[in-house]
Structure formats: structure tokens, C-alpha cells
Amino acid sequence: METIVKIDVKKIKEDIKKMVDEQKLYKKSRKNATIIVDANGYRHWDPMSPSEAQWKHRMMRKRLRIMYAAYGQARGKSYSQIENRYPEENHPLYGWDGEIKSIIEKYQIMVEIEERGV
């Protein structure tokens, strides 16, 4: 038996979907602050204030961009193919190259393959 290193692209895709759902929640929460009335009749603000939701939305946007870039790199695409607004030579994703590579390393798995007889 021989082992090879592969990237679990399916897991990256699932994690991106979870992050997108969370991002939608932040986007909705940053637009309005709601007052919640509990069972005892007490009024209090929603656990997440609009300013906190805006901050989390901004941080999540950066993390999602890096995750999308890692997903594209795992599938063998260059940065200019992932985000085609910029040329490859001075693409802004090169600034986050270390973070992208660490995400790719996080999703690496060892796969055993059987040797074929000749």
C-alpha cells in the first residue's frame, strides 16, 4: 500500500457554505437592532449589536475571500483565474499567500492507494 497526500476539496466547500450562512446572519443583523421581549416581559437588545455585526461581517468577508482562494488553489487554478479582475503579476491575493497555503495544509489528507500488479 502506498499513501499520497490529497486536499479534501469537499470539506473546504462545506466549510465555505457554513461561513456563507453565518455571513448572511451578520449582514441581516447589522442593518437593524431589535428589542427582544422575554417570557418575563423584560426588554433587552438583541445579543449582537449592529456595530458588532458590522465588524464580524467585515472580518468574515476577508476570511471568505481567503477560503475561496484556497479552494481555487486546491483545484489547480491561478489567482487570476480565481478573481479575474486583476492580472496575475500583481494580484492582491499574493499578500495573503501564507494564509492561503496554511488553509490548504489544514485540509490535506493522507489517502492510501493500492499498487497495481504488472
Q: What is the pLDDT of residues 53-98, one digit of tens each?
A: 888 889 999 999 999 999 999 999 999 999 998 888 999 999 999 9
Strand spans (E) along 1-118 = 2-7, 35-37, 43-45, 108-113
Q: What is the pLDDT of residue 98?
A: 94
What are residue 43's DSSP bridge partners?
Answer: 37
| Maximum C-alpha span of the chain | 77
Which is it for the CA torsion 96, 99, 7, 110, positive or negative?
Answer: positive
Q: What is the mean pLDDT of the chain?
A: 85
What's the distance, CA 98 to chain centroid?
Answer: 15
Evaluate if pTM is beyond 0.85: no
> Cell numbers of 8, please?
479534501
Q: What is the pLDDT of residue 45?
A: 59
